[in-house]
Structure 1
Amino acid sequence: MVTSSFGAKNFIGIDGGGTKTLCILGDQNGRILAEGRGESSSVKSRSWEEVKRVLLSLIHEVLVRSGTDASSLGGVFLGLAGSDRPEDRKRIVDWLQTELPEGVTITVHNDAVTALAAGTWGQRGIVLISGTGSIAYGFDPATGEFVRVGGWGYLLGDEGSGFDLGQKALMAVMQEYDGRGESTALTKLVLERWELQHPGQLINTIYGQENVRTAIADGSKLVLQAAAAGDSVAVKLVEEAIKELEKLVQTATAQLMSKLSVGLSENNEVLGLEIPLVLTGGLFSDQLFEQLFRETPTMQSGAFEIRLLERPPVVGAYLLALQEQDVELTEVMKQQITAFEFKT
């Protein structure tokens, strides 16, 4: 949902996730002038009043820190977790229109878009996120076409995510304890992690966690550790996770290219085009996991230009704010953005 604006010089990018929100203000020449950090602004996990408070305070903070005022704004781009539905986006745009000067371009999208734009410098591509949850998101800023695959949360999906790996690791431990599963090094690692004497104590420990989802997702690190040491159960779990992520990319690619009328081979590979694929999330920070994913048939097909995300997703929000005003991104601007040292 967008409103129009012309002739202003500064732009705000906001990346709002499930745990924190980052905000930057920069000018039309690629100079980032201020940054700020706040609490989560997810429209699905926070109240509307909390979301408004966080967003407005961050906008005010970067204006103050940059020594500018709202009258200098040309646009604000917000990538917010949970803002997939048009009605959610419209609600935020309508509200911000009452808080900002008339004519400021306001755009709201899913936070996966900002991660993608940060990895592709605002160009078309696909982002694959495998952190606590998992999602593949394809977006073409030139046409506004986008697709999402996965990202349905730990109860309905999130295959190949940290939670998925962590949960399956705990299940493997309990199955071994019951005598109905293979012996695995995960048992020793899990017991040491939680300082327990035997797996039977896990039920109270896990269900007693303040944030069960995060606690279980943290167990994915143990799976990667065991897999690196050659544990067969852990290796199998990692291989299954990677196959699920491969499916996310295959499906997102087919759907996006179909919307853009780009040809695909019988195996859903892009014909005559190497599409940027941005990898991000905690699991891809593990070298073994990243390498195994790169070795999958889909990644070896030559259809993708694989990139690890090297810039904060909030940079993508800023870039998309510039794009909304048809500001052309130059190499000098890229260098200035890259040189900025983020403190948050």
Structure 2
Amino acid sequence: MKRYRNGEIWDFEQELSGETGCGQKLILGLDGGTTNTVCICMPVIRFAPNHHSSDPPPVYARAVAGCSNHNSVGETAARETLEQVMAEALSKSGSTRTAVRAVCLAVSGVNHPTDQQRILDWLRDIFPKDVEFFVENDSVAALASGTMGKLHGCVLIAGTGTIAYGYTEDGREARASGAGPILGDWGRYDLQTFKGHLVRRMEFNGIGFHRRNLTLKELEWNLTTHLVGRNPITSLKPRNDEFLNLWNSKDSINGYGIAAKALTAVIRAYDGRGPQTMLTRTILHELQYSSPDELIGWTYADPSWARIATLVPVVVSCAEAGDQVANDILLHAVQELASSVKAVVHRLGLCGKDGNDTFPLVMVGGVLEANRRWDIGKEVTSCIAKDFPGMLPIRPKVEPAVGAALLAWNYLIEQSQQYHSEADYN
């Protein structure tokens, strides 16, 4: 076993024995995203031949760290975060790596077999040779959080970003919605669009770069470095038409897109090219501004998708108050979210040949949560049920990190049952 970095992450092991006090082996379940990373530690119980997973083991320990998406923070920082949070969970449980039976990492940014292989190779350097490893995208953990570790059905994640993900019992999988490699996330896609837009504007102003793969933090540094004495928002700010074209390049199928559509509607109304809307007054009040002109500076000062998405409750409140523009934005979002799920269901045949087979749809994310009158989640499921009456909408029963652990737990159950079947046959 190795450490990925030179540090004191695993020094606690010198003070501990190899396993927990009751002598049980452990499972580590990890859910990693762009906001935070959660790792839980649960025991491996002794499996009876006819054991069912409806009553999962308890959680011994839980640890939280920052972003572990290598596309956001780089591979080195992502690995350090993953190693740190796993070590912390084991330390809190009073255990060491020698007690680990299985590890399931469900991490955003894992979108290709090469991503999985890199992480698997790294995990094998850290843990003993007899540990089972599972590396998946974080949407898999979200699905498992509603199905209690069973990989069958569909999950719709609609928060700051969006993805529809499906899995069949024979191992086939499919995704829909979004643009770009990370979680089908319009927010992530538009950050790159925004970055490219600013780089082109800066180069037009005589500011060049030796490399094009700048992170947003690096771009911000270059902005402040090269534009000393100038107002970057004023000098690089696009015209209203450019602002609209940029925001209209996305769809409103997530929190980021819904809020961006609302900002666009406000600018259109201000220019006289769109209907007047309650969104103008409400958004300006929320941001403590007096004119829609100020929204362009606010948007480009920090275009992070989570920041933009904070305006979603404003859109919902305006729709609930009867504003037609806000209502249309949410109705469009409902149609797009439902279409994403339908696409996955069709591709995998989850609905069966006649379209009436039952399948679970796990609903995850703040956009799908109920409001006073405008319940986006309910509208989405109603739209889907028209085509697939066998769809069974469910909310997560456990957090995604526990769902990740249950994936590994169910695998161990199947392994144990197979062993008992072979023993009985012999």
Check if 1:136 corresponds to 2:220.
no
The structure richer in strand per residue is 1
Note the 1:204-215 alignment, pairs <5 A: 204-209=297-302, 211-215=303-307
Structure 2 residue aligned with 1:93: 120
Residue 19 (structure 1) shift: 0.5
Q: Is the 8 A contact 2:164 2:175 kept in 1?
A: yes
Show the 5 A alignment for 1:13-52. 13-29=29-45, 30-52=57-79
SS at match of 2:27: strand
Match of 1:319 in 2: 406
What SS class does the counterpart of residue 136 from structure 1 fall into?
strand
AA matched with 2:402 = V
5+ unaligned residues in a row in structure 2: which ranges?
1-22, 46-56, 180-184, 191-249, 417-426
**Which one-letter code corresponds to 2:265 in the other structure?**
A
Question: Following the alignment from structure 2 to structure 1, what is the Cα–Cα distance between the partners of residues 134 and 388?
Answer: 35
Tell me how far 1:295 sits from its aligned partner.
2.6
Q: Cα offset for 1:72?
A: 1.5
Residue 218 of structure 1: aligned partner: 310
1:68 aligns with 95
Counterparts of residues 30-179 of structure 1 (less than 5 Å): 30-123=57-150, 124-140=152-168, 142-152=169-179, 153-154=185-186, 155=189, 159-179=252-272
Note if contact 1:17-1:42 (Cα within 8 Å) is conserved in structure 2: yes
Residue deviations 1:107-164, cap 9 Å, x none? Answer: 1000000010010112211000111111100123x43321111233323766410011
Q: CA deviation at 1:300?
A: 7.2
- Higher mean C-alpha displacement, 143-152 vs 311-320: 143-152
Counterpart of 2:290 in 1: which secondary structure? coil
Report the Cα offset of residue 282 of structure 1.
1.2
Deviation at 1:215, TM superposition (A): 2.0
Distance 1:55 1:290 in 2: 32
Aligned pairs for 1:175-324 within 5 A: 175-209=268-302, 211-257=303-349, 263-265=352-354, 269=355, 271=356, 273-287=357-371, 288-296=375-383, 298=385, 301-324=388-411
What are the Cα deviations for residues 199-226 of structure 1, in whole angstroms up to 9, with x where unaligned? Answer: 01111111112x4322221122111111
State how many pairs are aligned: 313
Q: 2:86 is matched by which residue type in structure 1?
A: I
Q: Please, what TM-score do these two structures have when normalized by structure 1?
A: 0.86
Mapped partners of 1:91, 1:158: distance in 2: 33
DSSP 3-state at the match of 1:160: coil
8 Å CA contact retained: 2:24, 2:43: no
Give 1:280's aligned amino acid. V
Amino acid at match of 1:279: M
Q: Which runs of 5+ in 1 are unaligned?
A: 1-6, 330-344
RMSD: 2.1
- More divergent stretch after superposition (277-286 vs 234-243): 277-286
> In structure 1, what is the Cα distance between the partners aligned to 2:414 and 2:37?
25
Residue 102 of structure 1 aligns to a residue in which SS?
coil
In the alignment, is the contact (CA less than 8 A) between 2:159 and 2:366 conserved in 1?
yes
Paired with 2:93 and 2:73, the residues of 1 have a C-alpha distance of: 28
Which residue type is aligned with residue 65 of structure 2? G
TM-score of the superposition, structure 2-length normalised? Answer: 0.70
Q: In the aligned structure 1, how far is the partner of 2:252 from the partner of 2:130?
A: 42
Q: Tell me the percent identity.
A: 32
* Kept in 2: contact 1:278–1:308 (CA 8 A): yes
Change (3 A) 1:297 1:75: closer
What is the deviation of 1:85?
0.8
SS in structure 2 opposite 1:18?
Answer: coil
Distance 1:301 1:67 in 2: 48
Residue-by-residue CA offset, 1:208-250 (whole Å, 9 max, x unaligned): 12x4322221122111111111111111111000000010010
Change in CA separation of 1:297 and 1:213 when aligned onto 2, cut-off 3 Å: closer
Change (3 A) 1:289 1:192: same
Q: Using the alignment, how far apart are the partners of 2:352 and 2:407 within structure 1?
A: 27
Return the alpha-carbon distance in structure 1 between the equivalents of residues 402 and 109 of structure 2. 19
Query: Larger radius of gyration, structure 1 or 2?
Result: 2
Which residue identity is paired with 2:98? S
